[in-house]
Amino acid sequence: MADKIKIMVVDDEPDIVKIIKISLELANFEVIEANNGEECLSKLNSGIKPELILLDIMMPGLSGYEVCQKIRQNPDLKDIKVVMLTAKGQKSDAEEGLKSGADDYIIKPFDPYELIDQVKEILERK
């Protein structure tokens, strides 16, 4: 049996993490949880290497933008796909997310089925 694709979900809202985790696990992904940017970076630096990170922007401590920039600056992590997942729906917010190095941008509230489709599509990109 092939290893499941690992996806890290970084969000300070436990209910959102739970919805995403259940959706991803039903789609046969392995889910790693982090409750904030610092925890995300700590897990990545300890050797946990997901294929994709779903990253909230507005969190206490480091913002999703800052976390994404730190991931992009690290040679060991820079190839991980990062998708901003946020309630910030302005065009300028999406531009800021992409400028910080994100591969894509998903706005909350989201449909869990659409989220899975987007994750699969992003993972297929080279």
DSSP code string of 53-118 = EEE-SS-SSS-HHHHHHHHHH-TTTTTSEEEEEES--SHHHHHHHHHTT-SEEEESS--HHHHHHH
> With 60 as the cut, is the pLDDT of residue 105 above it?
yes
Q: Answer whether the bond into residue 50 is a cis peptide, omega within 30°.
A: no
d(CA 7, CA 29): 7
pLDDT at 31 (0 to 100):
98
Name beta bridge partners: 100: none
Residue 99 is predicted with a pLDDT of 87
CATH H-level, domain 6-124: superfamily: Response regulator (3.40.50.2300)
Distance CA 30, CA 27 (A): 9
In this predicted structure, what is the pLDDT of residue 126?
Answer: 72
pLDDT tens digits, residue range 64-103? 999 999 999 999 999 999 999 887 767 777 778 788 999 9
- What was the pLDDT predicted at 13? 94
- With tokens 């300028």, the residue in question is 92
3-state SS, residue 52: strand
Average pLDDT, the chain: 92
